[in-house]
Amino acid sequence: MLDGNGTGWSSGENLTITRYGKPVAKLVPVQTVQEQAKEALERILKRRQDIKLAPLAELMAMTHEGHRY
């Protein structure tokens, strides 16, 4: 059963539904495709900054590692 009159909930806030004081579901505002794409791009760009690439010479050496000539 939902208690309250829903104020704030319709203004874009999350609503957590509980049963006996324990969360069982969460209602969140609907996002547009553009909002989802923007958030995904932001996550990708953030992760990209954390990635450290090996120097090209090291990568080339790794491709031949273990080869028998």
Q: CA-CA distance, 43 to 46, in Å (whole number)?
A: 5
Average pLDDT, the chain: 82
Encoded tokens for 52: 């450290």
Average pLDDT value for residue range 33-55: 89
55 vs 19, more confident: 19
DSSP per residue over 28-46, as a string? -----HHHHHHHHHHHHHH
Q: Which of 25, 29, 35 is nearest to 13 (CA)?
A: 29
Closest by CA to 30, choosing from 9, 44, 45, 46, is 9
> In this model, does residue 15 exceed pLDDT 80?
yes
**Percent of all residues in the chain with a pLDDT value above 70, rounded to a whole number:** 83
pTM for this prediction: 0.39
What pLDDT score was predicted for residue 1? 44
Alpha carbon 24 to chain centroid, angstroms? 21
